Amino acid sequence: MQEHDMSWVRTEMTLAQTAPRSQVGPGAWIRRSLFSTPTDSVMTILAALVVAWALPQILNWLFFSAIWSGADRTACLTTEQGGQLPAGWSGACWPFVTSRFGQFMFGRYPLEERWRPILTGIIFVALIVPLMIPRAPFKRLNAILFFVVFPFIAFFLLVGGAFGLRFVETPLWGGLLVTLVISYVGIVTSLPIGILLALGRRSKMPAVKLLSVVFIETVRGVPLVVVLFMASFMLPLFVPPGVTFDKLLRALIGVALFSSAYMAEVIRGGLQAIPKGQYEGADSLGLGYWQKMGLIVMPQALTLVIPGIVNSFISLFKDTTLVLIISMFDLLGVVKQNISGDPTWATPQTAKTGYVFAAAVFWIFCFGMSRYSQYMERRLDTGHKR
């Protein structure tokens, strides 16, 4: 009989070896994520070529060949066009933006009164920042101030005509001021109207349901331009002769109606996702309709659709540019007006520069909103999702 006194089980740990060179490190990363298959390699090379061709041109245009100072159009013209720059030059003409910056922000708002929109802006930021930070205290008070008190302050500050402030009629407003006013009013009015419409659409009362459906589907079926068109051409027909509507007010009504129809559909999605048991639970507690909706259903439904709500805010913000078509001057309108109607800065590069600037402003706002909504979504995620 043979004895095996050799242990086949290792009794001590081997020392950990470093991972093979082919698996870790920058080389492996490059191979794995850029050249894993022949097709991949071809695509990487093509994409890299495109980037190498486009990126320097874009950066050059934006920064390196751009003109940063100047008094008028001659600063941004090539020798052929009557300026100093070498032939074939192409770059941004930033002094156009800096010299018109005040207009881009406030339109034709009187110079000596511009502290009023600035003050409004400061109050706005001071109220919205704590509202957006989840840990900041006094949420309820803050929300009341932002949604109920602030509109009145802003109205008196911007319009004036009371408390010793000069009256500034709305045709003088313009630029980012108008963009923000329309977006704010659209957002603040569309949420409650949208909630009512969504509830109406799910109501058991046939007349209420029919009216909500007809309103929502009609408004959603036509472009915002048509709604604005109706608001600006037909509203004056609907009121008794002699009553005139402010043009900005007409645009605001159009935008509010339009966005509330979209908001209603977003909120309806949230309502549909609430299980029937929640409604029945509320009923069995003896809550009335508004208590049931306000205390049980809506808080859950709105939390569910926060991404959708913010998405409609973002599209509303982008849609404010459409007031240009009923000849009002929001940020894009003022930029366009300065590009096509002002000979002081008429150069081939002006249009591109102006629109790139406006695009950057819009982009920052929209991107900020979408990132904030992603953050809120993660925060409010109750773990019910798959």
Partner 1 sequence: MAQEVYHEAEPAKASLLYDPKVRGIAFQVILIALLVLGIWWIVDNTIVNLRRSNISTGFGFLRGRSGFDISDRMIDYGSDSSYGRALVVGILNTAVVAISGIITATIVGFLVGVGRLSNNWLIRKLAMVYVEVFRNIPPLLVILFWYQGVLALLPNVRDSFALPFGSFLNNRGFYFPRFVWGDGSWLILAGLLAGILLSWYVARRAYARQMATGQRFPVFWTSLALIVGMPLLGYFLGGLPVSMDFPQKGTFNLTGGTNVKPEFLSLFLALSFYTASFIAEIVRAGIVGVPKGQTEAYSALGLRSGQGLRLVVIPQAMRIIIPPLTSQYLNLTKNSSLAVAIGYPDLYAIGGTILNQTGQAIEVVVIFGIVYLGISIFTSVLMNWFNTKMALKER
Q: Which one among 340, 372, 374, 380 touches partner 1, defined by CB under 8 A?
A: 340
363 binds partner 1 (CB under 8 A): yes
Kindly give the residue spans of alpha helices, DSSP state H, lying in the chain: 25-34, 38-59, 94-99, 101-106, 115-132, 139-144, 150-159, 175-201, 206-221, 224-233, 235-238, 247-272, 276-284, 289-291, 298-304, 306-319, 331-341, 350-380
Q: How many CB atoms lie within 10 A of CB 81?
A: 14
Nearest-CA neighbor of 329 among 225, 180, 178?
A: 178
Judged by CB, which is closer to partner 1: 158, or 227? 227
- Least distance from C-beta 160 to partner 1, angstroms? 30
d(CA 12, CA 75): 78
d(CA 55, CA 68): 20
Judged by CB, which is closer to partner 1: 166, or 220? 220
Site for partner 1 in 165-204 (CB under 8 A): 204
273 binds partner 1 (CB under 8 A): no
The amino acid at residue 184 is: Y
Which residues make beta-bridge pairs with 78?
Answer: 85
- Least distance from C-beta 140 to partner 1, angstroms? 30
Residue 346: φ, ψ to 5° = -75, 95
Q: Give the total of residues touching partner 1 (CB under 8 A).
A: 58
Nearest-CA neighbor of 225 among 328, 377, 376, 339?
A: 328
207 binds partner 1 (CB under 8 A): yes
- Least distance from C-beta 269 to partner 1, angstroms? 11
CA dihedral 153, 158, 163, 167 (to 10 degrees): -160
- Cα 121 from chain centroid? 17
Site for partner 1 in 47-106 (CB under 8 A): 47-48, 50-51
226 binds partner 1 (CB under 8 A): yes
- Least distance from C-beta 98 to partner 1, angstroms? 19
First CA to last CA distance, the chain: 62
Q: Which one among 77, 105, 158, 224 touches partner 1, defined by CB under 8 A?
A: 224
Q: What angle do CA 225, 230, 231 make, to 5 degrees?
A: 95
Q: Which one among 157, 190, 336, 338 touches partner 1, defined by CB under 8 A?
A: 336
- Least distance from C-beta 216 to partner 1, angstroms? 12
Site for partner 1 in 290-329 (CB under 8 A): 314, 318-319, 321-322, 324-325
On the 0-12 / 13-18 / 19+ scale of CB atoms within 10 A, 105 is buried
- Spatial contact of 74 and 84, defined as CB atoms under 8 Å apart: yes
Interface segment toward partner 1; rule CB under 8 A; list 130-138, 144-152, 301-309, 362-370: 362-370
- Least distance from C-beta 45 to partner 1, angstroms? 9
Q: Which one among 218, 272, 291, 344 touches partner 1, defined by CB under 8 A?
A: 218
Judged by CB, which is closer to partner 1: 83, or 160? 83
Identify the three-state secondary structure at position 316.
Answer: helix
* Largest separation between any pair of C-alpha atoms in the chain: 121
Judged by CB, which is closer to partner 1: 16, or 237? 237
Nearest-CA neighbor of 193 among 264, 114, 124?
A: 264
Judged by CB, which is closer to partner 1: 172, or 325? 325
- Least distance from C-beta 363 to partner 1, angstroms? 5
Site for partner 1 in 23-52 (CB under 8 A): 32-34, 36, 40, 43-44, 47-48, 50-51
Judged by CB, which is closer to partner 1: 28, or 119? 28
351 binds partner 1 (CB under 8 A): yes
In the DSSP assignment, the letter for residue 234 is T
Sites of contact with partner 1 (CB under 8 A): 32-34, 36, 40, 43-44, 47-48, 50-51, 204-208, 211, 218, 220-226, 229-230, 233-234, 236-241, 314, 318-319, 321-322, 324-325, 332, 336, 339-340, 348, 351-352, 355-356, 358-359, 362-363, 366-367, 370
